[in-house]
């Protein structure tokens, strides 16, 4: 999809202009002040709600060294990960990308390229799986719980849509977020992923709302923003390196989920048409 098409799609489907955002005094917004034209909010998971304490190449490097490789450069590990991801199809023996079965093959290829012997591969895979399924391996961005609690208190439908393993519900439960959202949809479980339309359409079905009544926010421009717009949803780009109130190719940009709450504030003259 071309960038030009994204901008055109935004004008017809997203219809949210950051120039029309009004500042909030705080996050304590009464329900009457929320935009009545937004019935549901969908959110990405990784790097939108939480992120890892340690980078993935470092995690794999540590695992490789603990499984018999004397030393290996971090760049070599990152390259092995890139090779495995590029070479693997989206489904391996019926296991869709990011599922446990797919990750086992991904890990096998990475560990082998990094020099781990065949006898250590299963142990290495289990160590990696344990790390990635442990809530202690991640931390929440500071505003996330406050914003989700506010949306839940006000009855907003909130769904999580993520290209992630089917363990995500347990991970979010461990992070204390599962009870604050209406549903969680993973690509591994649905066997389709963002930016494809199907995963967004499934979320709309679960929420029981129309695409034009739904706002999706995530950190990846192609998967989250372009994917949502192509499915007819409104979209916001969560880019924590920028400031709230900016636009990127006509798409509102927020630095965190507090900025998302500002977009959800009711307008005296709604910007939707």
Query: Is 269 within a domain?
Result: no
Domain boundary among the residues 136, 164, 192 is at: 136
- Per the domain annotation, does 272 fall within a domain? no
Same domain, 122 and 186: no
Query: What is the model's pLDDT at position 36?
Result: 76
* Among candidate residues 82, 103, 136, the one where a domain is terminated: 136
Q: What is the pLDDT of residue 265?
A: 80
With contact defined as beta carbons under 8 Å apart, do 245 and 263 qualify?
Answer: no
Residue 244: predicted pLDDT: 62
pLDDT tens sequence across 197-211: 999 999 999 999 999
Residues 152 and 107 in one domain: no
Instruction: Enumerate residue ranges in the chain where pLDDT < 50.
Output: 1-33, 267-273
Domain region containing 231:
3-49+141-263
Give the model confidence (pLDDT) of 132-161 as tens digits. Answer: 999 999 999 999 999 999 998 888 999 999
Q: Are residues 28 and 100 in the same domain?
A: no
Q: How many domains does the chain have?
A: 2
Domain co-membership, 171 together with 255 = yes
41: which strand partners? 158, 215
Note whether residue 273 is domain-resident.
Answer: no
**Are residues 159 and 117 part of one domain?**
no
pTM of the model: 0.84
- What CATH number has the domain bearing residue 148? 3.40.50.1000
Alpha-carbon gap, residue 257 to 273, rounded angstroms: 25
- CA 200 to CA 223: how far, in whole Å? 11
């Amino acid at each position: 999809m071309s960038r030009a098409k994204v901008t055109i799609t935004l004008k017809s489907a997203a219809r949210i202009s950051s120039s029309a955002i009004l500042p909030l005094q705080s996050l304590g917004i009464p329900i009457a002040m929320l935009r009545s034209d937004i019935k549901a909010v969908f959110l990405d998971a990784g790097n939108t709600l939480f992120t890892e304490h340690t980078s993935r190449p470092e995690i794999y490097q540590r695992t490789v060294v603990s499984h018999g490789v004397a030393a290996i450069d971090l760049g070599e590990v990152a390259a092995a990960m890139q090779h495995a991801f590029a070479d693997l199809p989206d489904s391996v023996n019926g296991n869709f990308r990011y599922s446990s079965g797919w990750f086992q093959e991904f890990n096998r290829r990475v560990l082998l390229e990094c020099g781990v012997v065949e006898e250590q591969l299963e142990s290495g895979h289990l160590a990696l799986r344990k790390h990635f399924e442990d809530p202690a391996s991640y931390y929440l961005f500071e505003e996330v719980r406050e914003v989700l609690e506010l949306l839940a208190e006000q009855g907003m439908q909130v769904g999580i849509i993520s290209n992630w393993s089917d363990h995500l519900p347990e991970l979010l439960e461990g992070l204390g977020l599962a009870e604050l959202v209406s549903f969680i949809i993973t690509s591994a479980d649905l066997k389709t992923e963002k930016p494809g339309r199907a995963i967004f359409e499934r979320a709309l079905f679960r929420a029981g709302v129309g695409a034009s009544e739904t706002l999706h926010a995530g950190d990846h421009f192609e998967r989250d923003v372009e994917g949502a717009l192509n499915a007819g949803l409104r979209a916001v780009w969560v880019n924590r390196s920028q400031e709230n109130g900016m636009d990127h190719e006509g798409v509102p940009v927020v630095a965190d989920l507090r900025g998302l709450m500002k977009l959800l504030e009711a307008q005296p003259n709604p910007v939707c048409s």
